[in-house]
């Protein structure tokens, strides 16, 4: 039986405290791993907190309505109490006729733990399983991108263990408890279903005791073995011995002649596609320590016909850079060049953009907006707004509100296409493009933007942008959008032709705000030249269902909403 602390989680770099809104469990209730324990709130977002382990809720230390600092222990769990109580009977058959006294349970459990047979220990004693987390209702699997800890490393609770990815977002996974990383059960590059056990944590003593166990191959550090150690019969993923397969097809070894490890997913793809071991070894790996990932194999298969012939058995192995050099020469590169492998985010963006261009008939319309009133209104209110609301007042929420106003008048732009049917969306879920350094863009979604006022839009946009840059978004927060805004002006661009975020049918780009002399109609002076804050906006839309007249009308409505703002108003 082990105690697990539940702490107030960290909800972002700027969040230092949280408030318990409601407990979903009571003392004495049994809880499953990742089952919702309580709901907490900050000044930016409310969220449910999952249980870090399976067990019984024994203590609630913070009442509903209380606000405490991040890291504060708010509850205690006891893990696997029934398993601990039943363990002595299972391990001591000669005492089966004698009913065990409750007070002797812990003593008997300790005696069993001292037997030098780790596999006989109760399943929950001193061990915490790390599972592939659920990252949204529609997400059923995840891919291990990188482990930040190795077997034998000590980890603190909430310290980052690994990074996982879906087709929407990459996220760092914190440790559910403090201890020692005993086993890593899923290798980098492997994709597994939500709920799959991917690692095991335990106490330092438990890790030491488990070290000589015969079934701990998965906990070994395969990458630390010297490349020249002979492996006449490398173990397969199921623990059985497998004879080496010569080049030319057949089964793929778990480890190559150069010592590189190949994950089960990579081996499966290679065997299915008829790759030889020699071909697999010729692929440059973009993963950690040069490992070959799923994307590496798929990229190789796409250009396989252009690749040089695989080396024959017995031939001296070429350096790992030779195949890449052959590809470069085959592609006709001349002079000084550098070939850089696309990272995961870039590959996802590339796939989405190509798919969008092949799906929608893109047309882009442009307009010019006088945002002088907007600039003056923001300058007048931004200091007091930040002091009162705790977030910066940016232009983004004004753009979002004006876009919602225009979408109400042009509902076909808040739609999707399914065959020959147009699906009009009654709710306005606005995606806001956020730059992640120089790596790329993501577009987290402000849900129900049509029901939020300017303050609500400001809070939502600031929260999503911050968590996007800190890899704290959930996949569900990147999907379900009905319309997207990308503020390219923050990067200095005057205008652009953005690509539609499928399955949406339109995307709006707002350019940089610049002072320029323009002709305006003065009520007393007539036409006159004045210095105004001007901004170009562009709308890319799906010409299958949206014509140029409707695109222009949308831009006019959007511009009017911004130009009609009261520069002397209070927010």
Query: Which sequence positions are flagged as catalytic?
Result: 543, 547
Cα separation, 210 vs 216, in Å, equals 8
Cα separation, 445 vs 429, in Å, equals 6
Cα separation, 443 vs 432, in Å, equals 5
CB contact burial 172-188 (16+ within 10 A = b; e otherwise): ebbbbbbbbbbbbbbbb
Question: For residue 14, what are the CA distances in angstroms to 10, 11, 436?
Answer: 9, 8, 18
| β-strand partners of 59 | 76
| β-strand partners of 431 | 445, 484
| β-strand partners of 193 | 141
Cα separation, 452 vs 458, in Å, equals 9
Q: Which residues contact 67 (CB under 8 A, 6 or more apart)?
A: 17, 18, 19, 20
Cα end-to-end span (Å), the chain: 56
φ/ψ (deg, to 5) at 193: -75, 155
Angle ∠(360,420,417) on CA atoms, nearest 5? 45
Q: Is the separation of the CB atoms in 218 and 236 below 8 Å?
A: no
Q: Is the separation of the CB atoms in 185 and 129 below 8 Å?
A: no
């Amino acid at each position: 039986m082990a105690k697990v602390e539940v702490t107030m989680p960290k909800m972002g770099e700027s969040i230092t405290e949280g408030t318990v809104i409601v407990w979903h469990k009571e003392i004495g209730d049994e809880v499953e791993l990742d089952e919702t324990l309580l709901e907490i709130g900050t000044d930016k977002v409310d969220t449910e907190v999952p249980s870090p382990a399976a067990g019984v809720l024994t203590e609630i230390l913070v009442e509903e309505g209380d606000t405490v600092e991040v890291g504060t222990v708010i509850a205690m769990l006891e893990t696997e109490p029934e398993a601990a109580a039943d363990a002595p009977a299972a391990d001591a058959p000669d005492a089966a006729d004698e009913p065990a006294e409750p007070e002797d349970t812990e003593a008997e459990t300790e005696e069993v733990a001292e037997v030098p047979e780790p596999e006989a220990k109760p399943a929950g004693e001193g061990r915490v399983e790390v599972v592939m987390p659920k990252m949204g209702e529609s997400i059923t699997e995840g891919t291990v991108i990188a482990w930040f800890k190795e077997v034998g490393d000590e980890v603190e609770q909430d310290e980052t263990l690994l990074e996982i990815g879906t087709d929407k977002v990459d996220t760092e996974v914190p440790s559910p408890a403090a201890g020692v990383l005993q086993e890593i059960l899923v290798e980098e590059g492997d994709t597994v279903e939500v709920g799959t056990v991917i690692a095991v944590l335990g106490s330092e003593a438990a890790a030491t005791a488990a070290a000589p166990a015969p079934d701990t191959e998965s906990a070994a550090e395969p990458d630390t073995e010297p490349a020249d150690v002979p492996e006449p019969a490398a173990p397969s993923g199921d623990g059985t011995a497998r004879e080496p397969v010569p080049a030319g097809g057949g089964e793929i070894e778990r480890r190559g002649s150069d010592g590189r490890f190949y994950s089960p997913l990579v081996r499966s793809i290679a065997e299915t596609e008829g790759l030889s071991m020699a071909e697999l070894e010729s692929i440059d790996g973009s993963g950690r320590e040069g490992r070959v990932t799923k994307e590496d194999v798929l990229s190789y298969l796409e250009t396989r016909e252009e690749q040089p012939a695989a080396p024959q058995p017995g031939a001296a192995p070429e350096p790992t850079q030779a195949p890449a050099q052959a590809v470069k020469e085959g592609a006709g590169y001349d002079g000084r060049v550098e070939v850089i492998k696309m990272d995961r985010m870039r590959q996802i963006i590339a796939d989405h953009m190509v798919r969008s261009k092949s799906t929608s008939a893109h047309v882009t319309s442009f307009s010019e907006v006088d945002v002088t009133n907007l600039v003056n209104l923001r300058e007048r209110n931004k200091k007091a707004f930040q002091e009162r609301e705790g977030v910066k007042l940016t232009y983004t929420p004004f753009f979002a509100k004006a876009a919602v106003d225009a979408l109400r008048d042009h509902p076909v732009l808040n739609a999707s296409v399914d065959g020959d049917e147009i699906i009009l969306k009654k709710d306005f879920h606005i995606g806001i493009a956020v730059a992640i350094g120089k790596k790329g863009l993501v577009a987290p979604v402000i849900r129900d933007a049509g029901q939020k006022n300017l303050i609500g839009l400001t809070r939502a946009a600031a929260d999503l942008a911050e968590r996007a840059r800190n890899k704290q978004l959930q996949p569900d927060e990147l999907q379900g959008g009905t319309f997207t805004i990308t503020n390219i002006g923050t990067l200095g661009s005057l205008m652009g032709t953005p690509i539609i975020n499928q399955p949406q049918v339109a995307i709006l780009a707002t350019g940089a705000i610049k002072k320029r002399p323009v002709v305006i109609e003065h009520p007393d002076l007539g036409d006159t030249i004045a210095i105004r804050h001007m901004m170009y906006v562009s709308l890319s839309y799906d010409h299958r269902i949206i014509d140029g007249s409707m695109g222009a009308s949308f831009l006019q409505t959007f511009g009017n909403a911004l130009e009609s703002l009261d520069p002397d108003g209070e927010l």
